[in-house]
Amino acid sequence: MFCLCNFKNKLIEQLKQYYYIFCLCNFKNKLIEQLKQAIM
């Protein structure tokens, strides 16, 4: 399955490719921020 959402951040666009199984839209800001911090 693939989540069709508007990913404004290119980082999220990249994450979407690696974690395509998950629908990142449903996780809101908390998971996104955690993922960004994990990358950094």
Q: pLDDT per residue over 3-40, tens digit each? A: 545 555 666 667 766 665 455 555 565 666 777 778 76
Measured between alpha carbons, how far is 27 from 33 in angstroms, rounded to an integer?
10
**Degrees (nearest 5) of the Cα angle 4, 13, 22?**
55
Give pairs for 21-29: CB < 8 Å, separation 24+.
none
Q: How far apart are CA 39 and CA 1, in angstroms?
A: 24
Q: Which two tokens stand for residue 40?
A: 């950094």
Give me the pLDDT at residue 2, please.
42
Only one residue has tokens 């921020």, namely 33
